[in-house]
Amino acid sequence: MQQVYFDNAATTQMREEVISVMTEVMKNNYGNASSSYSLGRLSKSLIETSRKTIAKFLNASASEIIFTSGGTEADNLILHSAVKDLGIRHIITSKIEHHAVLHTVEALKKDYNIAVSYLQVDGNGTIDFDELEELLRENTKTLVSLMHVNNEIGNILDIKRVADVCKAYNALFHSDAVQAIGHYPLDLQDIKVDFLAASAHKFHGPKGVGFAFVRKNSGLKPLIIGGEQERGLRAGTESVHNIAGLETAMTLAYNNLDSEMEYIRNLKSYFISKIKSEIPDADFNGMSGDLKSSTYTLINVRLPIAANKSSMFLFQLDLKGVACSRGSACQSGSNKKSHVLSEILNKEDLEKPSIRLSFSKYNTKAEIDYVVGVLKALV
């Protein structure tokens, strides 16, 4: 049986270069970065070099990069502090955000009695900018939280446009950019977003490390209290090997961005053509079938199978060696339907099996042929 990994939106295979760097750091740079002796200073130097490298790729200041355990922690840090410390009384978001944002916003609403507005999305998962402006016009002390690339249907948000609108109404803008950073170039001098969240394991780096971009002089306060690490914004002994792995993964991602983007986009284009040829009644959710309006890294396909035959669909794919998902890996232990698809599909289409397949530099057209063949047989 062939083994095919098409769940790169959930996590990616680490590059060999990343593993090598992390191994060397674990062997030789074990000093606590907060210590004053040479081993500690060396660890501190590695962290600060990584911070500068990451900031350079984003055209940001090194002081604006705060290392975290990943995107979820970064989202929580930003959203909690915005409400507790920055005086935010109103959050605008959408119901197709990652649960790291949605559940945090729900908790903040309950605990701090803030107002929350959910932007309507159309059948393709696209927000209405006129509604966004209207809500911003009617409310003060507002933060907008909208993800750059949707992790289930791949829609790309024009975050520069959102940032400009927010600035026009003196609102703060936070974007979960977990599916974008490492896959798209971002110039944060041009894009006036206030806060971003990123995670290394989405671009062939290690799990358990990411960062928050926090624009200077924002006034943000820490979520995790303790020592003065990360400029006082994130207490706890830094994971030096993970941070070094993050830096290496990001460097390789952006240094090879053009060639790898073209390769992966061609894989997605090939998958679309094969599905249309072999399973013509299949359809694509959101904008994922549009190469211009969705990320090149994933596609979400809805298959023409009756509801009573769809419950074991992912299990059947697993038996054939195909690793993919219904949506966010954070929901994999739940029997609930995708909250993203529930917002954009009618009841009949929602009952059909939809699967997210996400690609990387390690995938091939031969794997796509195999997976489409498996899907065709099951259909």
Which residues are the active-site residues?
330
Between the alpha carbon of residue 131 and those of residues 33, 127, 128, 168, 299, the distances in Å are 47, 8, 5, 15, 28
Q: The tokens of 94 are what?
A: 């959408």
- Which residues have a Cβ under 8 Å from the Cβ of 48 and sit 6 or more positions away? 62
Sheet holding 283-284, edge to edge: 283-284, 298-302, 354-358
What's the rounded Cα separation, in Å, for the pair 171 and 251?
Answer: 32
Determine the 3-state secondary structure of 179 from DSSP: coil
Between the alpha carbon of residue 57 and those of residues 60, 63, 215, 284, the distances in Å are 8, 14, 15, 33
* Contact criterion met (CB below 8 Å) for 125 and 151: no
322-323 vs 172-176, strand pairing mode: unpaired
Determine the 3-state secondary structure of 184 from DSSP: strand
Q: The tokens of 242 are what?
A: 């993970």
- Which residues have a Cβ under 8 Å from the Cβ of 74 and sit 6 or more positions away? 66, 68, 196, 197, 198, 199, 210, 211, 212
